[in-house]
Amino acid sequence: MIYSFIKNNEQLFPIEKMCKVLQVSSGSYYRWKKQRITARMQLKIDIKELIKLIYFESKQRYGSPRITLELDMQTKRRVKDKIVFPQLTLYFLFAYPKRI
């Protein structure tokens, strides 16, 4: 989060100054900036986006077990419930029952 802030504002302020103010070493920022997205990291990003998409497509009625089943069918991979549930709670997404 801090690194992305620095990257977004590197045209406005000197990187060294922002690192000093935010108490981050400039070396660690440059290391973060240079890193590449691995296949596993990309998969995690895609799964997080799919979780949100499935949740809102289901009109906020699916909980983690149903979203897990949907992910299994859509990604053709086994996605565990212990991956889905923390993502839902992180974004305060809860299943709401259908009103009669």
What average pLDDT does this structure show over 57-62? 84
pTM confidence score: 0.59
How many structural domains comprise the chain?
2
Domain span including residue 23: 2-34
Provide the pLDDT for residue 40: 85
What average pLDDT does this structure show over 61-88? 83
60: left (phi over 0), alpha (psi -120 to 50) or beta: left
What average pLDDT does this structure show over 63-91? 82
Provide the pLDDT for residue 100: 67
Say if residue 75's pLDDT is above 90.
Answer: no
Give yes or no: residues 29 and 50 share one domain. no
User: What CA–CA distance (Å, rounded) separates 23 from 52?
Assistant: 33
Give yes or no: residues 28 and 56 share one domain. no
**Is 99 contained in some domain?**
no
Give yes or no: residues 86 and 50 share one domain. yes
